[in-house]
Chains A and B, each alone.
Chain A
Amino acid sequence: MRISGNILLAAVLLFLIGPFVIICIAGLSAGETLSFPPQGLSLRWVARVFQVESFRNAFALSMTLAIGATLAALVLGIPAAYALERYRPPGAEVIRNIVTAPIVVPGIIVGLALLRHLVIPTGIGVTVALFIGHTALLVPYAVRVVSASLVNLRPDIEEAAVMLGASRLGAFMKVVLPNIRSGIMAAFIIGFITSFNQVPVSLFLSGPGVTTLPIDMMFYMEFNYDPSVAALSGLLALMSLAVVMVAEKVLGLSRYV
C-alpha cells in the first residue's frame, strides 16, 4: 500500500511538473521550430524574448496591472473585511455577498460586460477598464484572506489599546495591522499571481497597443511556431518558482493548507 502510494505520488508529480522541465529545455533550443528534444542548445530564443517589442510592452502592462490592481483591492478590501468582522453593520451578509460576487462570474463575462457597458457608454480607455476588471476580480480574495486572519485576532487586544489612550486609527495601525501582516502578504501574493496570469477578464479588454502578457503570448503562438514562447514560458515558470520559494520562506505556504 505504502509503496504503490509513493509510486502514484511520483507519477503525479512527474505529470504536474514534468511539462515545465520540458518547456524550459525546449526554450533553450538552437533550432528554428519548436521541438522536443531540441535541435542543439543555445540561448538565442531566450535573448529573442527580450527583443520582441510586444512582449516587452505586454510584460510592463501586466506588471503594472498586477501590482496596481492588487494594491487597490487591498485598499478596498482591508477596511471592508475589518468592518465585516468587527462592526457587523446591518445588512453585513448581503454586502459580503456583493463584494465576493466577482468570484462566481466567469472572467470572460466580466471582460465583455465591462467593454460593452462601461467602456463604450462612458468612453473610458480599455486600460482603465482592465484595471477596474482586475481589481474587481481581486477584491473577493482580499476580503476573504484578510477576514480569515482577523477572525484569529482577538478584538479585546484592540479594545485594551483604545482604553489605554490610543485613538481608533492608532489602535488599528499599531495593533491590528501588524498582527494581520502575514494575511495581507498572502493576499498580495495570491492577488498578484491571479492578475498577472489572468486571461479571460483581459480577453475582450485588449486593444491596439494594449495587451497583457498572457494574451500577447496566445496571439503570438497562433502565428509563430518558433521556440520563443517556450523560452518565455520557461522564464515565467522560473519567476513563479521564485515567488513560491520566497512565499514559503516568509509565510510557510504549507500552513495555509
Chain B
Amino acid sequence: MFQDRRIGLWLLAPATLFVVVGFLVPVIILLSGAFRTDGGWSLGNYLDFFGSSLNREVFWRTFRLGLTVTLVSAILGYGVAMAVVDKGPKTKGRLIAMLVLPLMISPVARTYAWLVILGRTGFINVGLENLGIIERPLRILFTETAVFIGLIQLFFPLMVLPLISALENMPRDVVPAARVLGANWLTVFWKVILPLTKEGLVVGGTLVFVGSLTAYVTPAILGGSKVLMLETLLYQRVSVANDYASAAVIGVILIAMSVLTNILLKKLASVRKA
C-alpha cells in the first residue's frame, strides 16, 4: 500500500522546501561568512577571533560553565531521580509534573526571579543584613555564580527526566541483589546503577551541556556585559559593532561543539557497554 514513492515525496515536499528556503539557505550563507575574508576563502576570521583575549576568555567561560552545570545537574539528578522512582505512581506523577513545570515557564520570568533573590536589595542580601551577618550587600548578580545558579535551575529538568525514565527501566532487584552480595552504596552506584542508566545520562548530559553553551537569556540578565558567554558576546558584537564575521565564527563554534558533544557522548555510552 505504501509502495508509491511519488506520494511519499509529495508529502515531504512542503516541509523540506520550507526548511530549506526559510532556514537552511540563510543560515548557510551566514555561516559561510566565517570562512571568508576580503581575499576569498580563509581561516583568518578564526585567528582574529581567538587573537582577542576577551574572546578567548568568553570561550573558556562558556565551556567551563557548560561543564560544571552538566556535572552538578548529573550528581543532583541521580539523587533526585532515585528518590522519585521509589514513590507510588500517584506521588510520582505529581513530582514529575513539578519537575516539568519550570520548563514550561518563560525563561525571562524564570531568570527575573533570580534578580529579586540575588539583587542588591534582594531576598538574600536583605535577609543577611537583617541578621547582622553582612554590613554591605554582597555582589552576587553579574557574577559567574549568578549565571551558574540560573543555568542549573533552567536545565536541571532536562537532566532529571531522562534519568528517571532510565531508572524506571532498570530491573528492580539488581540493587538489593548487589547489596546482599556485600557491595557498599558507592560500588552499587558505580558498578550497577551507572552502567544500567547511562543512556539516560547521555541524553540528559547532551541536552544540558548543549543548552548551557547556547543559553542567551540567563547570561544576558544575570551576567550582563560583565560575564559574557558566547551568545551574549555574539549579540554584543553585532549590535555594537556590526561585526558579522565574529558572529559567524561564534555560530560555527557553537554548532561544532553541539555536534561533537552529541557524537562523543554517544560513543562513550556504547564503548562502556561493550
Interface residues in chain A, defined as those with a beta carbon under 8 Å from any beta carbon in chain B = 1-2, 5-6, 8-9, 12-13, 15-17, 19-20, 22-23, 26, 33-37, 75-77, 79-80, 82-84, 86-90, 92, 95, 98-99, 101-102, 104-110, 112-114, 116-118, 132-133, 135-136, 139, 143, 155, 158-159, 162, 168, 193, 196-197, 199-200, 203-204, 213-214, 217-218, 221, 229-230, 232-234, 236-237, 240-241, 243-245, 248, 252-254, 257
Contact = CB atoms under 8 A, between A and B. Distances in A.
B229 to A, nearest CB: 11
B108 A214 contact: yes
B99 to A, nearest CB: 7
B28 to A, nearest CB: 8
B97 A253 contact: yes
B254 interface: yes
Interface string B152-172: 110011000100110000000
B98 A17 contact: yes
Contacts of B4: 87
Nearest to A234: B109
Given A19-B117, A236-B109, A99 B16 contact: yes
B65 to A, nearest CB: 15
A79 B14 contact: yes
A235 to B, nearest CB: 9
Interface stretch (B17-25, B43-51, B52-60, B191-199): B17-25
Size range of the chain B interface in the assembly? 35 or more
In terms of DSSP, what is the predominant structure of the interface of chain B?
helix
B12 interface: yes
Contact of B254 (A2, A109, A114, A244): A109
B96 A233 contact: no
Interface string B106-132: 111110111111010111001000000
Interface of B: 1-2, 4-5, 7-9, 11-12, 14-16, 18-20, 22-27, 29-31, 76, 79-80, 82-84, 86, 92-93, 95-102, 104-110, 112-117, 119, 121-123, 126, 152-153, 156-157, 161, 164-165, 185, 214, 216-217, 220-221, 231, 234-235, 238, 244, 247, 251, 254-255, 258-259
Nearest to A3: B83
A19 B153 contact: yes
A117 B119 contact: no
Given A218-B220, A237-B109, A253-B97, A36 B123 contact: yes
